[in-house]
Structures are given as C-alpha cells and as structure tokens.
C-alpha cells in the first residue's frame, strides 16, 4: 500500500520488490526438500506478484543465487570453501556480495526487468 501511494516517476514506476530465492529451487539436493520447496515458492510468486502490482507501477523480480561468500560460507573451513568454489564452472570461485549488489542495482535501474527470475550462479548446476 505504501509503494502504491507514492508519486510515480516519469515512467509510471512507484517501486520494486526484489526477492532472493536460490538455485536450490531448480537443483534441489537430497535431504533438502523443504529448503528447495520454499525457494521454489518464492520463484513461483514472482510473475503473479508482478502482474498483480503492474496496475500501480510496482515491479517484482527474484534473484536465485548460487554459492556466494556469505557469513555462513565464510564460517566453513577454507578447504571446504575451496571445494565448493571448484564446483562453479565459470568463474571458478564463490560469488562476492558486491556482485549480488551490482545485479540489484541493474534491476532497479532497468524498468523492463519485471516478473523475472535471474540465476546468479556462474553456470552452477548442483548435484543431487
């Protein structure tokens, strides 16, 4: 309601919702049913939310990241971090928080990105 009440910009835009899911929504691993299902639900809401809010000029986009250098991963032993990074095809490393932030900025600035899920994963496809 608060976004819908804002004054629109020159392009009729009033705001954007950017959700974070995970590539686990597509590549759910053994023992990760609940996690994969919850991320798939976020992805499944993206287009309907974008359509529902289109009349008030609010966009909805979801980012599905792969392996990123988060506090959780940073807490793992370096050997484990290196092994995880080696599974990413290109670039063969963990994603950096700044790369996630750059994508968020691009989504905000490009009004045509709407109702979309963007994988940010270096072409990683997780094994079962």
**Residues forming the active site:** 35
Pairing status of strand 15-20 against strand 58-65 = parallel
Q: Which two tokens stand for residue 40?
A: 């798939």
CA 90, CA 67: separation in Å to the nearest integer? 12
What would the two tokens of residue 2 be? 């608060």
Dihedral sign from CA coordinates of 42, 98, 119, 70? negative
- The first and second tokens of residue 14, run together, are 């009033």
């Amino acid at each position: 309601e608060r976004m819908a009440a804002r004054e629109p910009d020159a392009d009729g835009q009033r705001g954007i919702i950017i959700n974070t899911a995970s590539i686990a929504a597509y590549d759910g691993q053994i023992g990760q049913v609940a996690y994969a299902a919850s991320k798939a639900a976020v992805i499944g809401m993206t287009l309907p939310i974008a359509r529902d809010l289109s009349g008030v000029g609010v966009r909805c986009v979801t980012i599905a990241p792969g392996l990123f250098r988060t506090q959780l991963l940073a807490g793992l032993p370096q050997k484990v971090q290196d092994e995880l990074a080696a599974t990413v095809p290109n670039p063969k490393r963990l994603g950096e928080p700044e790369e996630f932030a750059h994508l968020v900025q691009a989504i905000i600035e490009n009004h045509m990105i709407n109702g979309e899920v963007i994988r940010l994963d270096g072409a990683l496809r997780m094994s079962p």
